[in-house]
Amino acid sequence: MDEATTSLGRYVTMEVLRQEVWRRKIADHEQRSSPWVESFRQRKSWRKPHPIYDFLFEYYKTKLKNFTNWRPMLDMALEGEGAELFLTDGRYHRIDSVVRLNVRAMIERERRLVRWVANLVIAALSRPAKFGCFGLHEWAMVYKTKEIRHETTPLRPSSEILEKTVESLPICCTHYDAFRFFTPNAVPLNTLQPTQEDREKNEQFGCVHFNMDLYKWSYKLYPWIGSDLQMDCFELAIRARELDMRASPYDLAAYNMAPIKIETAEGRIEYKREQEALHEKGKALGKRLLGECQKILDQLESMKLL
């Protein structure tokens, strides 16, 4: 059967993929994901951490098997005998001649997470983006302290320049997971005091960390959010993480990363330009993620599982 859109069951319109099509998707996903995984594993074996890229595997607690295994979107149905391999996972089932995800297998925690992520993205999309933070959160994490988060990576500016930069620029971090790592001296300097509970009031697509979190949410919703979107979010997260660390006070010369010197007017202009470009791509991915969450919620509701 050719790729087609057809109605499967009572509730969902599905895209039927021939076996050669979804196997090609598996190969494409392996080509995109494997270099990142192999590099990470190699660094672990050599005990040589990378201050930029390891974050996306360690902080987000990525299960490498899930990261490398391609999974279809909710509205994809897989043809061919080879699709039987998905049935070893109880979250898939066979209907007639195809294999697809079965939302009846979602546990209550996953259902709550889908709704929470959808509401969070809706709130962030409704809020104007802010472009005046200049990545100062990383500076606030080492402000007036001897404890450095990336112990193997030296700081670029002197302590005097670091403190002057933090004190002379407005710190307006909206992201709780960045703010919670501020040093005690930096906390009162932030114009907001974000908490875990008020994320929906603060998150916005100008935030580098919120754009990184699109990968986190797509990954945490594995396998209900398909691997194609997950990898798109991961690649955006890589770009966001590079911007995050290039604008930080860390010296990344050993990793061939040129700094964005936000302590200068030119550096702040460069940062804002990169931030605005990231924001546009993040919004597009956020809308796709929201669309996938809505498909799940619609199907759960139609089956009276919400």
- SS (HEC) of 21-62: HHHHHHHHHHHHHHHHHHHHHHHHHHCCCCCCCHHHHHCCCC
Q: What is the DSSP string of 268-300?
A: HHHHHHHHHHHHHHHHHHHHHHHHHHHHHHHHH
pLDDT along the chain (306 residues), means of 10: 38 84 98 97 94 94 94 96 95 94 96 97 96 96 85 90 96 96 96 94 97 96 96 98 97 96 98 97 98 95 87
Q: Residue 10: what pLDDT? A: 43
Domains held by the chain: number: 1
- Model confidence, pTM: 0.93
Domain span at 199: 4-302
